[in-house]
Amino acid sequence: MKKMSGLFLSMLLAVSVVFIGCSSTSPSSTVSGNQPAAESSAKGENQLRIAISSSPPNLDSHLSTLAIVQIVGSNLFETLVTIDKEYKVIPMLAEKIEVSPDGKTITFPLRKGVKFHNGKEMVADDVVASLKRWGQLASTRAALDNVEIVAKDSHTVQFLMKAPNSSVLGAIASPAQPAVIMPKEVIDSATKQGVKEYIGTGPYKLIEWKQDQYIHLQKYADYQAVDMPSTGLGGKKQAKINDLFYYIVPDQATRVAGMQSGEYDFADDVPLDNYDQLKADPNLEAIVVKPKRSSMINLNLEGHVFGNQKMREAVSTALDRDAIMMAITGNPDFYRLDPGILYREQALYSDAGKDKFNPNNPELAKQLLKEAGYAGQEVKILTTNAYDYMYKTGIVVKDQLEKVGIKVKVEVYDWPTMIDLISDAKNVSKWDIYTTGFILNMDPSQAMYLDSRNNFSGGYHNPRMDALLDTFRTTINPAEQKMLADQIQTLYYEDLPIIKIGDLHALTVYNKKLKNFTYFIDMPFWNATVQ
């Protein structure tokens, strides 16, 4: 297996970057009272120590699209419906899903006896309050436009629509920004900054969150498991490990060393160039998750450079995506070049626009720069060293853009600071590109960067795209949906609001004492055991 490419190492030594370190925004003290601290609980044998790359800014999934929020939250919270291992929507807190013949009413009878972590039984009012809040805040909230959510009785929720909506179930099932169900009183007391308590229905409950150190979850004794086989993010969940400790370990080398020394039992998003080293360790299991995410660079259409269509085309044309992915991984088995908004494993996958996906034509890029009237303005790329693939992407993109004559500066932030920077409209002049990734779009209308009503950072707004997305959402026929998916992706490649680099696989490592663990999107630890 190839190690990290010499090309990347030479670029790393030659490129001048700015490192900007700031403190994270996670809670500053213990979240709950009268519970054992990590030091005492860690003495127990039935616990798992997980090394994560950054501290979540919060655990409020209604507010956040950050993967780290969902990685912890998936063991705490549940949704009305979820997805199975084939990405199909299945009931979770709902007992079943009933769709009226005209497609305008969806009825969800709720499972009875489901308890929140505060001991209260979940009822329809909790579900309605949670979904209404999610529908106001989520990046994919457009899916709930013109959907009235009502409690028919104490254990029945209905979606009432003026027209069929083919995206609504996928939207509320998506793990990208899950529509988790919380008690109505928690929703009612929430502020703009988020909920004040993290109370869900999941197999684990929150015990303690110590700033920049760890998050401690504990088995919830009153958890009510669904009576169906475990699959994907749904089915039967049993908390067989008593305690989960998520240790915040931003430094990649420290995560790797901690896995080898036995300090940690599990680490996700380990640098791929450590694969051979970790695979050879007799105490560790190293698995490659295929695919884990789509690696992308987002462009600021509201800034001083990329409001110009020709500039966006020039950047996309200048990039050698294969070289970028090789610099990240050092091995062609760890990535694939694919133009799709969706993964090729999904039913509505499209390769429309593939001729524009990886032109890799520096001379044409130079011509496009001339047509754009580019006059040497500095392009500022934001990236983070919390995620190896993002950092390396920023460095290699800088090198490739400079070769066609674009002046580039890279700034490296810690993850929470970078997110704060790009999320605040007041900072629109402070960035032009940032490195990012997306885990899963349930359908093309769920690609949050396409719908202008989602107010995704970058400011993309095309009424034609919004209209196509709306038409897709009200289309039920699979053949017509596929045609629309092709049209949406074709327009995406014409506009280039965000540039896809490729589908990136990920390296997950865990101690072999962890048994019965099945990786699926958000690292669910239910049903797993420690021996």
2 band by pLDDT with thresholds 50, 70 and 90: very low
Residue 419 lies in a domain: yes
* Burial (CB count <10 Å: 0-12, 13-18, 19+), residue 182: buried
pLDDT of 44: 55
- Indicate whether 518 pLDDT > 70: yes
SS (H, E, C) 361-409: CHHHHHHHHHHHCCCCCEEEEEEECCCHHHHHHHHHHHHHHHHCCCEEE
For residue 357, the model assigns a pLDDT of: 97
Torsion of CA 93, 95, 99, 100, to 10 degrees: -130
Indicate whether 165 belongs to any domain: yes
* pLDDT tens column, 106-132: 999 999 999 999 999 999 999 999 999
Q: What is the pLDDT of residue 437?
A: 93
Within-domain flag for 349: yes
pTM (two decimals): 0.80
Domain shared by 364 and 424, yes or no:
yes
In a shared domain, residues 450 and 401: yes
Higher model confidence: residue 506 or residue 522? 506
Q: How far is CA 227 from CA 63, 89, 430, in A?
A: 31, 17, 51
Q: How many domains does the chain have?
A: 2
Q: In terms of domains, do 167 and 299 share one? A: no
* DSSP H or E run through 466: helix 463-473
Domain end call among 216, 248, 280 = 248
Residue 312 forms part of a structural domain: yes
Same domain, 213 and 135: yes
Claim to verify: residue 322 and residue 215 sit in the same structural domain: no
Query: For residue 330, is pLDDT > 80?
Result: yes
In a shared domain, residues 105 and 14 = no
- Tell me the pLDDT tens digit for each residue of 227-261: 999 999 999 999 999 999 999 998 889 999 999 99
Q: Is the residue at 1 inside a domain? A: no
- How far apart are alpha carbons 439 and 437 in whole angstroms? 7
Domain final residue pick, 225, 248, 271: 248
Judgement on whether residues 227 and 110 belong to the same structural domain of the protein: yes
Q: What dihedral do alpha carbons 182, 183, 186, 187 form, nearest 10°?
A: 70
Nearest to 421 by CA among 328, 300, 312, 309: 300
For residue 60, the cross-strand partners are none
Q: By the 8 A CB rule, do 244 and 217 touch?
A: yes
CA–CA separation, 289 vs 503, rounded Å? 11
* Statement to judge: residues 473 and 330 lie in one domain: yes
Range of the domain at 121: 54-248
- pLDDT, mean of residues 200-222: 97
Closest CA to 83 of 474, 505, 522, 525: 522
CATH number of the domain enclosing 83: 3.40.190.10
How confident is the model over 61-99, as pLDDT tens digits?
A: 999 888 889 999 999 999 999 999 988 999 999 999 999
Is pLDDT at 162 greater than 60 in this prediction? yes
Determine what percent of the chain is predicted with pLDDT higher than 90: 76
Measured between its terminal Cα atoms, the distance across the chain in Å is 32
| Predicted local distance difference test score (pLDDT) of residue 66 | 84
Residue 412 Cα distances to 255, 423, 452, angstroms: 20, 16, 28
| pLDDT at 504 > cutoff 90 | yes
Q: Based on the domain organization, do 228 and 348 belong to the same domain?
A: no
For residue 116, CA distances in Å to 37, 122, 155, 310 come to 23, 6, 15, 53
- Stretch 42-70: mean pLDDT: 87
pLDDT at 400 over 80: yes
Note whether 122 and 216 are same-domain residues: yes
Contacts of 101 (CB under 8 A, 6+ apart): none
Q: Are 326 and 502 in contact (CB under 8 A)?
A: no
Choosing from 248, 277, 309, the residue where a domain stops is: 248
Higher pLDDT, 12 or 291: 291
pLDDT single digits (tens) 477-502: 999 999 999 999 999 999 999 999 99
Residue 268 lies in a domain: no
Q: What is the pLDDT of residue 289?
A: 85
Same domain, 182 and 317: no
What's 453's domain CATH number?
3.10.105.10
423 & 308 share domain: yes
Would residue 40 count as lying in a domain? no
Average pLDDT for 293-319: 97
Reported as type and span, the H/E element at residue 301 is none
Residue 285 lies in a domain: no
